[in-house]
Amino acid sequence: MTAPATRVLLSAAQIEQRVKEMARQIEADYAEGPLYLVSVLKGSFIFMADLVRAFERLRVRTEFMAISSYGTEKTSSGQVKLTRDLDVSIEGQQVLIVEDIVDSGLTLSYLLNLLGARRPRSLAVATLLDKPERRVKPVEIRYTGFQIPDEFVVGYGLDFAEDYRNLRDICVLEEIATSASGAPAAWSESER
């Protein structure tokens, strides 16, 4: 991959520090583990990996789900589809959804409804990034790493057309003009 035209928004060191703080806060709130952490693939895989390793005493279970959007305009159509479900029951369990970013809130709203219907003992959300300016569906987020402006960010798990997930920093892709939907205007259908 050629060097991307990026500007660092959040450095690896800033992220590392904040993830540790979030872990301390979560541990304080869930003294009576186990806590079922549900990572929403793919974007949250690096945050999930760092968060679980930052816990010092909490019993955690690591679970994974995957979601995809119908069509090409996810944030306007609001249609999301489950592509990988949990393979365990969460009934009666403490559950924390782990997201990389909350944008429109549509993905999270879908997940909260889906998992809430399975009667967990508790259900809450931790997200590394929150873009409140873009919210379409109000969602309650218990743990937020950083609130960020409405810019297209990549790295630390977040992608542009599947690239850049491996960057250690969270960066703004500066050369890409974003459309009203938040998707880079240069995206072709096959890259979405």
Catalytic residues: 103
Residue 41's Cβ-count burial label (10 Å; 0-12, 13-18, 19+) is: middle
DSSP strand pairing (80-84 vs 143-147): unpaired
Which residues contact ligand PRP by CB under 6 A? 40-44, 67, 69, 75, 99-108, 159
Nearer to ligand PRP, 78 or 120 (CB): 78
Is-contact 63 40, C-beta < 8 A?
no
Shorter beta-carbon distance to ligand PRP: residue 108 or 124: 108
Q: Max alpha carbon distance in the chain (Å)?
A: 48
Q: How near is the Cβ of 32 to ligand PRP at its closest, in Å?
A: 28
Please, what is the minimum distance in Å from the beta carbon of residue 64 to ligand PRP? 12
Q: Which is nearer to ligand PRP, 70 or 119 (CB)?
A: 70
Sort strands 170-173 and 6-10 into parallel, antiparallel or unpaired.
antiparallel
Shortest CB 120 distance to ligand PRP, Å: 19
Residues whose CB falls within 8 Å of the CB of residue 35, separated by 6 or more in sequence, listed in order: 26, 58, 59, 60, 61, 94, 95, 96
| Nearest approach, Cβ of residue 131 and ligand PRP (Å) | 8
**Closer residue to ligand PRP in complex, CB, 11/72:** 72
